[in-house]
Amino acid sequence: MTGIRLISPADAEELAALLRANREHLEPWDPERDESYYTAAGQWQIISDLMRAGNALPHAIVEDGRIIGRVNLSNVVHGAFQSANLGYWVAADVAGRGVASAAVAAVVEAAFTTYGLHRVEAGTLLHNVRSQRVLERNGFERFGMAQRYLRIAGDWQDHYLYQLLAENWLAARNENS
């Protein structure tokens, strides 16, 4: 069974090994990474920094006790904004099995019910149709296109922007119950 849980520094070694094994699979969708990113020490530092900053909720995607990806709420803002950005990735050996869709569904539910957010936003590369489908399956609506939005694979690349509002999520959930 696939689920999510908050990441801790104790996950650094397992995450580093997973990232090294999936480096080629993830590179077209990721920013350029320093070599330290693929080490346990690098992952430990990233996780520790996220926890200390307090504006991110990084989750591991787990299946049968092993980490198979990540789903993150970042740039979490409370107060009048009550919003966060969503990002996710899964290992190559589980891609195409609905794992990302299930993980996004779980973190969206947590965003709206546990973390009290009002809005979750995500961006995808224009040609990342699989990621767009994950978002659309989870009720996200495309609301725009941001030019040269993120530096991915060494180039500033355009992204489609998606959002999901808590009230739309709740209405869809009640409709499907």
Q: Give residue 139's region: left, alpha or beta (phi > 0; psi -120 to 50).
A: left
DSSP alpha helix (H) spans, 27-98: 40-53
Which structural domains are found in the chain, ordered by start?
A: 2-175 (3.40.630.30)
pLDDT for 1-25, tens place per residue?
Answer: 889 999 999 999 999 999 999 999 9
For 155, residues 6+ apart whose C-beta sits below 8 A from its C-beta are none
pLDDT for 85-124, tens place per residue?
Answer: 999 999 999 999 999 999 999 999 999 999 999 999 999 9
pLDDT for 30-58, tens place per residue?
Answer: 999 999 999 999 999 999 999 899 999 99
User: How far apart, in whole angstroms, are the C-alpha atoms of residue 171 and residue 83?
Assistant: 18
**pTM recorded for the entire structure:** 0.96
